[in-house]
Amino acid sequence: QERRRSPEQRRDQKWRWQLEEERKRRHYTVYAKPALRGQLRKEQQLQQQEEEELQREEREKRRRQEQERQYREEEQL
């Protein structure tokens, strides 16, 4: 049973890759000049918010898929 990646899965994977790249970049700039630390902190907060939003979207997607699966099972009975 071969499963192809949906556009949504590709988008999520690309998003995760971008988040990981940002995380690495920030890790290497932790010892940056003090003027950059404030900006870095704001970026980290934004990054965390984006990650939390992505997690919420994934949970909602799984919940909808589970509901659809249950609905299909009930229809088959």
The pLDDT value given to residue 23 = 80
Of 37, 15, 34, the residue nearest 26 (C-alpha) = 37
d(CA 71, CA 64): 10
The pLDDT value given to residue 1 = 43
Comparing 29 with 45, the larger pLDDT belongs to 45
- Percentage of the chain beyond pLDDT 70 is 87
Model pTM score: 0.50
Read off the DSSP letter of residue 32. S
Which region, left, alpha or beta, applies to residue 26 given φ > 0 means left and ψ of -120 to 50 means alpha?
Answer: alpha
The pLDDT value given to residue 19 = 83
